[in-house]
A and B are shown apart, each in its own frame.
Chain A
């Protein structure tokens, strides 16, 4: 579920005012646990997910797991 947002350069973490970095992030759904590369704030760890990712790949994986 690797995803690089097309406008990743522009977004900052508002709280920490830091640029986002690609990092391994743990995600969970149903019984599935996996690691994916996502953009996040290196200080507070907020993970950035844009619309295309949420409604595209993520939804697909969610549906796949639901039908398992």
Chain B
């Protein structure tokens, strides 16, 4: 896996980018944190943030010209946050006595500061703190420069005196009433290691580097009014601080220009969409400054501008509280570990690969693609936990084994005449025997593996419908498209599977595949685009629906689109047309069509992290009061298991009288296998008149399995077949333990890479199953 490319993708994510307010604040106060602290009533913590970022925070906080406010996103919905007023409130309610700081030894070089105004004082204090010997030259008889112009209600003379006194207390050398001109500057330059020029005017034009404030390559640095050409106090301290950084770098002989792009004001690349927030007017002050309560309310109006688009839509990113930038860094780390634990494995296997994140991201960052590549890399390097996808891959192998897999051409013309009904006139009656075929397999119906597992009774009906409606012979192909292998990152398996499918396609002279499963459509488009596919739902719209029976109770349904169909807008339309034609109303979900969510099955999350899967299910089913309508059988099963009334499109097209379709019990894992085999049997027997294949297992044993055990079987991925094999082995070879007190037996059998255990007792002829469990670890019995 190309980790540099991966990190580049992560770097594109703007989740961590500052909001406009912070970017436009010349000293970058962390405004989101600042406001969050106020919101919580933590004025002292908010104060600490001011102290950390703003030079002379007690002064500046009271007189700042707040360039942060104009660009505030809130201005589009009620008015900018009054950051400056909040700073004043914080100075009032959050100030505390500063801790005594011990002066550092002054041994790092001598710096002269020309001009004791705001910018000069900032440079002086910053460099003094770092261990430089600082000397200030001021032409007036007091420090402070233009600060004195601000003395008034907000900034009292007393406070200003106090702050200036603090500078004097630092034992910074101060020469008042010392005018520095061109000549004396030259002297200072030769006498000191560096000179900062912070006067508001200078007798001749000078040019400086706009990033470093250095004049040419000399030891002279400038800032303040000279540079800013405004009397903004915040720009003044900001330029002073930046010049101090340059001086320090210069004297420490490190690069002056490295990573300084984000000093001062800059344009943030963050894009924040406030359009869905209600407008809230600014809180007015009842006094000169905000009261605590008013400050808290005002801070609450901040929408905390941060890109969370993808996170908001995704139960996975929210469960792990991960933004793609952080996620990608974790993947990078996980990929690089050689010795040690791969902590991110489980997270990586908890993404459904649904693709909503990319849809939500205006930069098209796709975690789906990242996760897919990561899983492929993990399996290639043998780092993928086997247990995560083992069951699903075995299920896929089952579907492609002789127990389900089947390829047949449509029966011959003569046979077809007897077998199928064809529409005489499209909307009225059907007659038997008007053969529409051509003898060539124009279409191959490929229902996938999950639909036959859940709707075994409908596959034959669909096949008959297709034979009767589409022009040309329709063959059938039962199997699994390979979606589980794709999700598991098993390139080897998926490629093998696709080759097998292509072989059938070639042998059948390249028919169009009719697909009923959204995952199959996705896999065919991704891996064998040369095969022409049509969705069953599109065909229903083109050829007319098979049943004229109308629904008993019309109702409004909300459609949950399968995530695999995200980019297939034609399919979305066909489904909606079918639902309308059948007489149902539709109420769209907020996340639908190209913005649909995953039910939780995608990416095999159902197997890798059940809790995560449940989180997807419960979020989705909570999004509508209506019954849901789905067209993927996994979506249906998960939603029904989650307690939501859910119809599959087939429930509506092929209604059954005897069952309540919206709550129909989900087939168990074992039943899915049986159902698939049964579909093959029925088709072979009733359409191709072939002998049914021999049963895999003679059902010699009668088992009694109560519901709690059924549940364990599901949760532990134990099939009926596993239990039968364990029993068979135990009974035939007597390989088991017995408990004379209870009469129970405990038997085990290793099948492939799993050992299955069954505790049971004999109930007459039957076996009562008391517990089932398994482990992967192998016990060496010797």
| Residues of A contacting B173 in the complex (Cβ-Cβ under 8 angstroms) | none
Q: Does A12 reach chain B (CB closer than 8 Å)?
A: yes
Question: Which of A27, A46, A66, A67 is close to B735, meaning CB atoms less than 8 Å apart?
Answer: A46
How many chain-B residues does the 8 Å CB contact rule pick out?
Answer: 37
Contacts of A38 in B (CB 8 A): 779
Closest A residue to B774 by beta carbon equals: A54
A66 to B346, CA, bound (A): 11
Q: Is the CB of B385 within 8 A of A49?
A: no
- Report whether A54 and B782 are in contact in the complex, using a CB–CB cutoff of 8 Å: no
Q: Residue-by-residue, is B735-774 near A (CB-CB < 8 Å gives 1, otherwise 0)?
A: 1111111100110100000010101000000000001011
Inter-chain contact A27/B774, CB cutoff 8 Å: no
Determine whether the beta carbon of A10 is less than 8 Å from that of B777: no
Task: Kindly identify which residue among A11, A54, A66 contacts B757, using a CB–CB cutoff of 8 Å.
Answer: A54
Cβ–Cβ contact A28 & B757, under 8 A: no
Q: Interface residues of A: mostly helix, strand, loop or mixed?
A: mixed
8 Å CB interface, A1-45 against B: 7, 10-15, 20, 25-30, 38, 40, 45
Bound form: Cα–Cα A64–B346 in Å: 12
User: Once the chains bind, are B737 and A49 in contact (CB under 8 Å)?
Assistant: no
Binds A, one of B266-274, B337-345, B493-501, B692-700: B337-345
Please tell me which one of the listed residues B341, B387, B777 contacts residue A28 in the complex, with CB atoms under 8 A apart: B777
Contact B342 A67 (CB under 8 A): yes
B762: shortest Cβ distance to chain A, in Å? 12
CB distance from B658 to the nearest CB of A (A): 38
B392 to chain A, nearest CB (A): 16
A18 to B386 Cα, complex, angstroms: 36
A58 cross-chain contacts in B, Cβ below 8 A: 775, 777
- List the A residue with the shortest CB-CB distance to B759: A51
Is B659 an interface residue, CB under 8 A from the partner? no
Q: A13: which B residues are within 8 A, CB to CB?
A: 737
Q: Knowing A66-B386, A67-B341 touch, does A47 contact B777 (C-beta < 8 A)? A: no
Q: Across the interface, which residues of B come within 8 angstroms of A45, CB to CB?
A: 781-782
CB distance from B728 to the nearest CB of A (A): 15
Known contacts: A12-B739, A46-B737, A49-B748. The answer to whether A62 contacts B341 by CB under 8 A is no
CA A64 – CA B340 in complex, angstroms?
10
Question: Which of B387, B774, B781, B782 lies in contact with A66, CB distance below 8 A?
Answer: B387
- Interface size for A (C-beta < 8 A) is 34
**Given A61-B777, A63-B387, residue A48 in contact with residue B735 (CB < 8 A):** no
Q: A10-B742, A67-B343 are in contact. Are A25 and B779 (CB under 8 A)?
A: yes
In the assembled complex, which residues on chain B have CB atoms less than 8 Å from the CB atom of A25? 779-781
CB atoms of B739 and A10 under 8 A apart: yes
Chain A positions within 8 Å of B776 at CB level:
29, 62
Residue of B nearest to A1 (CB): B777
| Shortest Cβ distance from A16 into B: residue | B734
Chain A residues within 8 Å of B708, by CB: none
Known A-B contacts A12-B740, A14-B738; the reply to A47 vs B387 at CB < 8 A is no
Interface centre among A11, A13, A29, A58 (most CB of B within 10 A): A11
Contact B742 A62 (CB under 8 A): no
Bound together, the chains give a CA A7 to CA B770 distance in angstroms of 16
Shortest C-beta distance, A5 to chain B (Å), equals: 11
Q: In the complex, how many angstroms separate the beta carbon of A16 from the nearest chain B beta carbon?
A: 9
Whether B734 and A14, one on each chain, are in contact in the complex, defined by CB atoms closer than 8 angstroms, is yes
Contact: B741 with A10, CB < 8 Å? yes
Which residues of the other chain, A, contact B782 by a CB distance below 8 angstroms? Answer: 26, 45
Q: Say whether B777 contacts A29, CB under 8 Å.
A: yes
- Complex alpha-carbon distance, A20 and B740, angstroms: 13
Once bound together, how far apart are the Cα atoms of A20 and B203, in whole Å?
Answer: 101
- Interchain Cβ contacts under 8 Å between A and B, 16 examples: A11-B739, A14-B736, A14-B745, A28-B777, A45-B781, A45-B782, A49-B755, A49-B779, A51-B757, A51-B759, A58-B777, A63-B385, A66-B388, A67-B341, A67-B342, A68-B342
6 further A-B contacts with Cβ under 8 Å, apart from A10-B739, A10-B740, A67-B343, are A12-B740, A29-B778, A49-B757, A49-B779, A51-B773, A66-B387
Chain A to chain B: the 4 pairs with minimum beta-carbon distance, closest first: A66-B385, A26-B780, A14-B738, A54-B775
